[in-house]
Chain A
Amino acid sequence: GQSLEQPSEVTAVEGAIVQINCTYQTSGFYGLSWYQQHDGGAPTFLSYNALDGLEETGRFSSFLSRSDSYGYLLLQELQMKDSASYFCAHGGYQKVTFGTGTKLQVIP
Chain B
Amino acid sequence: NAGVMQNPRHLVRRRGQEARLRCSPMKGHSHVYWYRQLPEEGLKFMVYLQKENIIDESGMPKERFSAEFPKEGPSILRIQQVVRGDSAAYFCATIEAGNEQFFGPGTRLTVL
Contact = CB atoms under 8 A, between A and B. Distances in A.
Interface residues of A, number: 22
Nearest to B50: A93
Nearest to A100: B42
B43 A95 contact: no
Contact of B58 (A30, A44, A95): A95
Nearest to B41: A101
Interface residues of B, number: 26
A57 B104 CA distance: 23
Given A48-B100, A94-B48, A95-B59, A43 B43 contact: yes
B78 to A, nearest CB: 20
B103 A96 contact: no
B61 to A, nearest CB: 16
Nearest to A45: B100
Interface in A26-83: 30-31, 33, 35, 41-45, 48, 50
A95 B91 contact: no
A99 B45 contact: no
A96 B56 CA distance: 11
Interface of B: 1, 31, 33, 35, 41-45, 48, 55-56, 58-59, 91, 93, 95, 98-106
